[in-house]
Each structure stands twice: as structure tokens, then as C-alpha cells.
Amino acid sequence: MTALAAATGHLVQFIQRGGEDLQTVLDIALFTVPGVLLGAQFGVAVASRISQHVLERALGVLFILIALLMLGEVVF
């Protein structure tokens, strides 16, 4: 409920501003909303088929890759 209230408040602010800010928010939402919905569905299916140990290792590797990418953007 808190996230929904916060998202609604932010959306109202962006609608009032209009222009480029609103377009940026809508562009981000266009990709993130379906990604979250599909990711949740696939995540449950994958998590039920793979052992806990493998999931923990894979998540650790994923976080390391993301950290390296972010550091690469800052450095270069």
C-alpha cells in the first residue's frame, strides 16, 4: 500500500510538470512494468526447479557482474 501511494503521488507530480519529465517516466514504466510481471512469473518457475545452493551462487555472480559494469561506467 505504501509503494502504491508513493507511486501515485509521484505520478501526479510528473503529470503536473508534464513535458520531458513525464515522457521519461512513461518510457521507463513501459519497460519495467512488463519486466517485473514476467520476471515474477518466470522467477517462481525457475526457483522451484533449481536448488537453493545454485540459486545463491548464481545471484552472487549476477551481483558481481552488475558491480563490475557499474564500476566500468564510472571509471571509463
70 pLDDT tier (thresholds 50, 70, 90): very high
Q: What is the dihedral of CA 30, 36, 7, 2, to 10 degrees?
A: 170
Instruction: Identify the pLDDT of residue 11.
Output: 83
Number of domains in the chain: 1
Write the CA distances from 41 to 9, 33, 76, integer angstroms.
28, 13, 36
Instruction: Identify the pLDDT of residue 41.
Output: 92
Residue range 58-67: average pLDDT? Answer: 96
Range of the domain at 53: 2-75
Mean pLDDT of all residues belonging to the chain: 89
Judge whether 15 and 22 are in contact, CB under 8 Å. yes
Does this model's pTM top 0.75? My answer is no
Instruction: Identify the pLDDT of residue 23.
Output: 85
